[in-house]
Structure 1
Amino acid sequence: MSPVQSSQVERQPGTPWHAGERLLQAHAGMEARLAEVGPRVVRDFMPEQHRDFFKQLPSIVIGAVAPDGRPWATVRAGAPGFMDSPDPRALDLAVIRDPADPAEAGLEDGNAIGLLGIEPATRRRNRMNGTVARTGAARFRVAVGQSFGNCPQYIQKRDFALVRDPATPTDVAPQVMSVLDERARKLIGASDSFFVASYADLASGERQVDVSHRGGKPGFVRVDADGGLTIPDFPGNTFYNTLGNLMVNPVAGLVFVNYPTGDLLQMTGRTEVITDSPEIARFERAQLLWRFMPETIVRRDRALPLRWDFIPGGASPQALATGSWG
């Protein structure tokens, strides 16, 4: 399937879906249904349960776009309550500036960003995108563009502990690489989840940024001989926000979290969505594949003041039902 060849894409009137999303929805046989369902489930405000949910979280996943157009995914943390929603169309975040985080350059006033609130212990997650309004050196507000919930599939249950003051940054300098080293390959090969940021520039002039969770059994992300990653896409809500963005703008930012240590492995690079390959049928439950070729990699040891412990018996049943590269 060929990507939509356009630097700016149209959003279908009366729906939240742009051309890249609709292309994959049609491939899945879901375009007509989602044209009807989309306006009901993707809102321009947060319902009360979402507003309460963000307030109780100790972390937030952020997708941002640097001035050079590179997307980055990151995770920021704070004591529960560091996020608050003063009204259904706004979310306030109290997070310190972190120049070591490559996503920081995309968190300036007026920037479009994506947010994912995820609570592994309960498998709840809610997504939102919008526009940044800086309200202080360590605070900003996000005006809601789109808000919607996600199903609990492929999320492993984990409990968190706060191990230092969130206002105290790590004392380890970031390490910048152009290729994955053995330590990075080992983390990716053992990971059961990661987060991905993507975006599309719409013909209306809006920038739509998304950040989402990807999960599976440990090793579901394959590190290939050329240093790229091959990733199966499993059944979900069929919105195709992430892969739809990649169809019109084939760049992404990934972040892998080392949950026991708080380390972050962030990378930005080029992508390709694969809709027709024998490998899709060989990987159980995979509907599509996509490849990611890292161009800039940043490792930040102990970047997060949080540690997560796996909850016994907390493996995702949906993830256990998927295949493996072996």
Structure 2
Amino acid sequence: MKNVQSYFDSGRRDFLKTASLGAVALNFSFPEIPEEMAGIPMGVVVHSYGARWHSKAGSPSYPSFENAIDLIHHCKEIGAGGVQVGVNGWASDFAKKVREEREKSGLYLEGSIRLPQTSDQVPIFEKEVLAAKGAGAEVLRTVCLNGRRYENFHSEKEFLEFKAGALMALSLAEPIVRKHQMKLAVENHKDWKASELAEIIRNLGSEWVGVTLDFGNNVALLEDPTIVIETLAPMAFSTHVKDMGVQEYEHGFLLSEVPLGTGIVDLKKGVELCKKYNPSIHFSLEMITRNPLEIPVMESNYWETFQDVPARELARTIMEVREKSFPGELPKVEGLSDEQRLAFEENNVTSCLSFSKKSLGIG
């Protein structure tokens, strides 16, 4: 995209004209939180413990989580309602142990699984689906891309090749989850814009394939979190609940997961929308403690796969970054010792769980 600043300037008036109309359209009431759902606390996505998962720090205060059972034990101790954790490589005997621990703890279990990229990988995928089902999971979160769209692809051609591969992977996975009646939930993982993912799920046309709705990822793709949630909530099987802090920097803006209630995401509306469409949905925290991500929207390379983004979307995002800039410094792990990073991570998780109970009616 050329002359990004001119796009910002030209889009400013369009944004101001449409902003008030959008606010009116979004001003509708939601049903009250059902009592039976309010009793299930927020769960924890394994990525919330990026430092502690298979940690080599040897910390007595924050011992390493070596597997799903360790994570379940800890999440029970801190009052979480469940876990979402990878099931790759699970054998049936380990799945049985996970099921026993899950049943003793009373926590829900959601799996995270890799899609089969070729027909040769389908038997492995099916084995892992069966292991997750044996452990008591009913939903399997997955992603089409492990990286970030604006970093992984440097041309529209590359992105379209990725899209074709992703559609093939989903077409290989769908008959397996349908056969075993397991829900497969595709995350918006800084790869798909909300409308793109919604179209993919609709075109697949399977009751067994839906969405893991991440509340904050698509800010990196210049999308309003509330619009993303409105678009994807009707097909959501699971969630990644997070709040996002933003600050301007010379090449665009910085983006960081921040403790719930301190960022730009309308969490209450997000929770209400998800419950409206799926009353049995679980809310799982993904509070990743790391350095802020750089979103280089003022660099031409960022735009290689975004050919049709209206100028007003860039304008709206930059205006929000400036108006809602995170106070003080965004969370960082740079310069922290292993022990400090582990403590920082744990405090972030527990503070978010407390907020979810007190302010979101979860638990």
> Does TM-score exceed 0.5, indicating one fold?
no
TM-score by length of 2: 0.27
Larger Rg: 2
TM-score (norm 1): 0.29
Which protein is richer in helix relative to its size?
Answer: 2
Which structure features the higher share of strand residues? 1
